[in-house]
Structure 1
Amino acid sequence: MEIKQLKYFVETARQEHMTEAAMVLNVAQSALSRQIGLLENDLGTELFRREGRNIKLTDAGKSFYEDAVQILESIDKSKEKITNVQNLKEHTFNIHITRSDMTTKVLQSFNHFIKQDESITFTIHSEDEDTLEEKLLDASLDLVISPEKLNDDQLKSILLFEQNYYYVFRQKNRVNLPMQASLSELEDMPLATFEPAIEMAGLFKNSTIHNYKDLSIIQHLLIHHGYVAIVTNDEAKQLTYNYPNFTVYSLVHLNIKHPMYVSILKNNEKPFVNQWFNQLRQEFMPMYQPYTD
C-alpha cells in the first residue's frame, strides 16, 4: 500500500467517477484504474461497485475511506510539523559569546542586526570553550566569539579585539604596588580573579591565584585580607563602584591580555550568519590590521 494509492482512492471516492477523478489527479485513467486495482488486491476486497456510469463505495470501501482520509490528514500534519521545525531551524541564529569587556558592544551590534530581519529568531548559548569547534562543525552553533582562533579548514576565524586586564588593590601598608608593577611584585601578593577567560595560573606561575564566581568575595579579600585582584576593566569598575578607594592599574605593560576571535562555518547555509560576521568585522577590525578571506 502506497500513499499515492490512498490519494487516488480518496479522490475517486469523492468524484464517484473514474474519468473525473483522473482529471483532478492529472493522471491517465488507465494508471488510476491500475493503482485502485493494486490497492484492492492488497486489501483483499473490492472498494467500488459500478452503478451506471458512476462508481460507488462498497461497504468495505466506506469503512476504508474513513481510515484513508485520517491517514492522509495525519501525513499532511506531520509534513507541516517537519516543515515548521525546518523553517525554525533555518531561521534560528545560535551564538556563543565568551564574556569580555566588549560583550555589551557585541550584543548591541547583534540587537541592531536582528531588528533588520523579523524572521530571525536566536538562542544565545553558554557552552564549554573546549566544545566550540565541534559545535560549529556540526552546525549546532552558527557563530562563536571566544579567545580561541579555530584553525579547522572548514572554519574561518578573525581577530575582533583584545581583552586587557587590570590589577586592583586597597592601598595600605600591606599592599603598596607601583603603577607598573613587575610580575614578581604581583606574585608576592595573594591573587584573586573573577572567572577569567584565560588560564591565569599559567601567567602567574610563582603564585597561587584563586578564581571566584562572586565579585563580592573578591571585594572582601581586597579590603580585609590584602589580596590583589586580576580582573577586566568592567570588573574593576564594579569593584570601585562599591568601594571607590580601590587603586586600579593596567597590566598592559606585562602584556597580560587575550585575543577575542569571531568564528563561523565557511559553508553555513544561513545567509544572516555571514552577514553579521562581516558586520562585526567592519565594526571592530578598523582597530587592527586589514582582513582578507
Structure 2
Amino acid sequence: MELRQIHYFMEVAKREHVTDAAAAMHVAQSAVSRQIVNLEMELGVDLFIREGRNVRLTPIGKIFLRHMEEAMTVIDNAQREVEEYLDPEKGTIRIGFPSSLAAYTLPTVISAFRSQHPGVKFQLHQGSYHSLIDGVIKGDIDMALLGPVPKEVKKVQGNILFTEKMVALLPNKHKFADKKALKLSELRDDSFVLFPRGYILREIILNACQQLGFQPTISFEGEDIDAIKGLVSAGLGITLIPEITLIDSLPRQTVKIPITDPEVTRTVGVIIPTEREMLPTAKLFHTFINDFFDRLGSFQK
C-alpha cells in the first residue's frame, strides 16, 4: 500500500467521481483508476461501487476511509512535528474560535504573539461551541478559544482566561433605552433575537431567563454575532450579547445597557487535548496566551 494510492482513494471518495478527482490532483484519470484498482486488489475488497462515471463507497470502503483519514492526520502531524522541532518559530498553529471572539479577542492575542514570533503561521477555523470541542478532540485543530469554558468534557482541558459580562443590546427607540442599568426580568415581555438551537450563547440566555421564571419570546435568529447585531439595529428585537463584542463600536441605532439583576456572565478560555501531545509551536502559543491574559488581568486590577 502506497501513500499515493491513499491520496487518490481519499480524493475519489470525497468527490465520488474519478475524473473530477484526477483533475483536482492534476494527474491522468487512467493513473487514478489504475491505482484504485491496485489498492482494491491488494486489500482483496471492492472499495467503490461503480455507477457509470460516478462512484460511491462500499460499506467496507467507508470503514477504510475513516481509518485512512485518521492515519493521514497522524502522518501530517508527524511531519509538522519534525519541522517544528527543527524550528518552532516557523510552525503552524490551527486554532478554532466562535464568532463572538472573532472581532476583538482572537485578533488581539494573535497580533501580540506575532510581534514576538513573526515566522509562525495560523490556520483559523470558525465554528460553533460543540464543533470546536469535537475539533480539538479529533485533532482537526490544535486548540480552541471559546466561552464558556467546558468543565466536565472528557479528552479536553480548559483554562479560563477571563470572565465577561453579557449586556443588553436594545434599539435606541426602546422604552428602556435611557436607563443606566436593567433587571433581566424587565425584558420578559420583549421579543429576543438569539442564536439558533444548539448554540451555547442561546443556552446561557435561556437559562438566565428561566431562572427568573419566564421563557423569552424569540422573534428572529442569527447564526453569528454580526447578524444578531444587525437584527437588533433594525428594531426587530432585543438581545443579550457578550460585552467584548461591542468593545470597538455599537451598531447604529442601538444602545448597550448593563444587566445588574442578575448579572449574566460567561467564562472565556482556551481548550487543548488531554490525550494528544501538542506540537512545539502550539505549545509556544498556548503558554503565550495564558501569560498574556494573566498580565492583562493584573494590569486591570
Residue 290 (structure 2) pairs with residue 285 (structure 1)? no
Q: Return the TM-score normalized by structure 2.
A: 0.54
SS of equivalent residue, structure 1 residue 149: coil
Residue 270 (structure 2) pairs with residue 256 (structure 1)? no
Query: How many residue pairs were aligned?
Result: 201
Shift of 1:268: 2.3
Quote the residue 1:59 is aligned against: none
Structure showing greater Rg: 1
Residue 209 (structure 2) pairs with residue 211 (structure 1)? no
Quote the residue 2:234 is aligned against: 220
Alpha-carbon distance between aligned partners in 2 of 1:159 and 1:241, rounded to the nearest angstrom: 28
User: Relative to 1, partners in 2 of residues 1:237 and 1:135: Cα closer, same or farther, differing over 3 Å?
Assistant: closer
User: Relative to 1, partners in 2 of residues 1:278 and 1:217: Cα closer, same or farther, differing over 3 Å?
Assistant: same
Q: Deviations over 1:34-80 (max 9, x none)?
A: xxxxxxxxxxxxxxxxxxxxxxxxxxxxxxxxxxxxxxxxxxxxxxx
Give the structure, 1 or 2, with the largest relative contact order (CA under 8 Å, sep 6 or more). 2
Paired letter, 1:202 = N
Shift of 1:278: 1.6
Q: Deviations over 1:133-159 (max 9, x none)?
A: 333233221111112325456533110
Does 149-158 or 261-270 show the bigger shift?
149-158
How does 1:1-293 map onto structure 2 within 5 Å?
86-87=79-80, 91-100=91-100, 103-114=103-114, 116-117=116-117, 120-147=120-147, 148-149=149-150, 151=152, 154-170=155-171, 175-176=175-176, 178-193=179-194, 197-198=200-201, 199=203, 200-205=205-210, 206-209=215-218, 210-213=220-223, 214=227, 215-221=229-235, 227-233=237-243, 236=246, 240-243=250-253, 246-266=254-274, 267-286=276-295
User: Relative to 1, partners in 2 of residues 1:288 and 1:238: Cα closer, same or farther, differing over 3 Å?
Assistant: closer
Given that 1:201 and 1:208 are in contact with CA atoms closer than 8 Å, whether structure 2 keeps it comes out as no
Alpha-carbon distance between aligned partners in 2 of 1:84 and 1:237, rounded to the nearest angstrom: 37
User: Relative to 1, partners in 2 of residues 1:269 and 1:241: Cα closer, same or farther, differing over 3 Å?
Assistant: closer
User: Relative to 1, partners in 2 of residues 1:236 and 1:175: Cα closer, same or farther, differing over 3 Å?
Assistant: farther
Given that 1:180 and 1:253 are in contact with CA atoms closer than 8 Å, whether structure 2 keeps it comes out as no
Alpha-carbon distance between aligned partners in 2 of 1:181 and 1:189, rounded to the nearest angstrom: 13
Paired letter, 1:135 = G
Q: Deviations over 1:94-139 (max 9, x none)?
A: 1002233685243232234245446533210123422333332332
Shift of 1:166: 1.6
User: Relative to 1, partners in 2 of residues 1:248 and 1:285: Cα closer, same or farther, differing over 3 Å?
Assistant: same
Q: CA RMSD in A?
A: 3.6
Runs of 4+ in 1 over 6 A off after TM superposition: 82-85
User: Relative to 1, partners in 2 of residues 1:126 and 1:187: Cα closer, same or farther, differing over 3 Å?
Assistant: same
Shift of 1:274: 1.8
SS of equivalent residue, structure 1 residue 100: helix
Shift of 1:190: 1.7
Shift of 1:275: 1.8
